[in-house]
């Protein structure tokens, strides 16, 4: 068995973070392939249940990417996403799951480097946390 390679699900908004992730590729900026991205139109369309589902299915981390505050393509969707994620993280804490498994980050369409750095940093953080404990727990 090799080194633990975390599985990360990314929900990236179409206008900023997804385009930023595209730019990282176009600029050939390398980051670990641990992240698998689901494109959503806006970070406000990420239902907290998607995050919970990903964790229940064994994802070691979930990244929600949106536009910078004030720059949302849909005016204020990123603020809605931020509120939802903050609430969800509180609940995760009460379930005994590390809050650091769920990240919300602002990456603009021109920040390819920031996207790659974010993924690299997240993979490192989660490697330290170890695998998601949910699949081995009988109580949830």
Partner 1 sequence: MKKLGVFVCHCGINISSMVDVEDVAEYAKGLDGVEFSTDYKYMCSDVGATLIKESIKEHDLGGVVVACCSPRMHEHTFRKVTKDGGVNAYNLEIANIREQCSWAHDNKVRATEKAKALVRAAAIKALMDESLESSRTKVTPEALVVGGGIAGIQAALDLADTGYRVHLVEKEPSIGGKMSQLDKTFPTLDCSSCILTPKMMEVYNHPRIDLLTYSEIESVEGSIGNYNVKVRKKPRYIDTDKCTGCTDCVSACRMKDRVDNEFNFNMNKRSAVYMTFPQAIPLKTTIDPDSCLYLRFGKCGDGPLCVEACEVGAIDFDQKEEILELNVGSIIVATGYDLVDGAALYEYGYDNYRDVITTLELERLISSSGPTAGKVLCPSNGEAPKSVTFILCVGSRDETQCSWCCRIGCMSALKHVYLLKEKLGKDSEINICYTDIRSFGKGYEEFYGRIRKEANFFRGRPSEVRMKGDGLKMDVFDTTTGKLLEIATDMVVLVPALVPRTDSDTIARALNISRSGDGFFLEAHPKLRPMDTFTNGIFIAGCCQAPKDIQDTVAQASGAAARASVILSKDELENDPLVAAVDPDICAGCGICVEVCPYKARTLNDWTKIAEVDEALCEGCGACVIACPSNASIHRNFTKQQIMQMVDNIL
Residue 93 sits in the site that holds partner 1 (CB under 8 A): no
| Interface residue with partner 1, options 6, 16, 89, 97 (CB under 8 A) | 16
Token pair of 32 as six digits: 């670990």
Q: Number of helices (H) and strands (E), helices first, in the chain?
A: 4, 4
Neighbours of 132 (CB within 10 A): 22
| Interface residue with partner 1, options 64, 66, 102, 108 (CB under 8 A) | 108
User: Please, which residue, 30 or 90, has the CB nearer to partner 1?
Assistant: 30
Residue 73 sits in the site that holds partner 1 (CB under 8 A): yes
Residue 87 sits in the site that holds partner 1 (CB under 8 A): no
Spatial contact of 62 and 103, defined as CB atoms under 8 Å apart: yes
Residue 134 sits in the site that holds partner 1 (CB under 8 A): no
Contacts of 91 (CB under 8 A, 6+ apart): none
How many Cα atoms occupy the beta-carbon half-sphere of 88 within 13 Å? Answer: 22
- Contacting positions for partner 1 (CB under 8 A): 5, 7, 9, 14-16, 18-19, 21-26, 28-33, 36-42, 44-47, 49-50, 53-54, 57-59, 67, 70-71, 73-77, 80, 84, 108-111, 116
């Amino acid at each position: 068995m090799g080194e633990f390679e975390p599985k990360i699900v990314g929900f990236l908004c179409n206008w900023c973070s997804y385009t930023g992730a595209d730019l990282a590729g176009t600029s050939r900026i390398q980051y670990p392939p641990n992240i698998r991205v689901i494109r959503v139109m806006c970070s406000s369309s990420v239902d907290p249940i998607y995050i919970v589902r990903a964790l229940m299915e064994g994802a070691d981390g979930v990244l929600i990417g949106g536009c910078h505050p004030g720059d949302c393509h849909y005016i204020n969707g990123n603020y809605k996403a931020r509120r939802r994620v903050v609430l969800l993280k509180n609940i995760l804490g009460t379930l005994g799951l590390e809050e650091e498994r769920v990240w919300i980050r602002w990456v603009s369409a021109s920040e390819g480097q920031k996207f790659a750095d974010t993924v690299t940093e997240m993979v490192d953080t989660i490697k330290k946390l170890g695998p998601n404990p949910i699949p081995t727990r009988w109580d949830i």
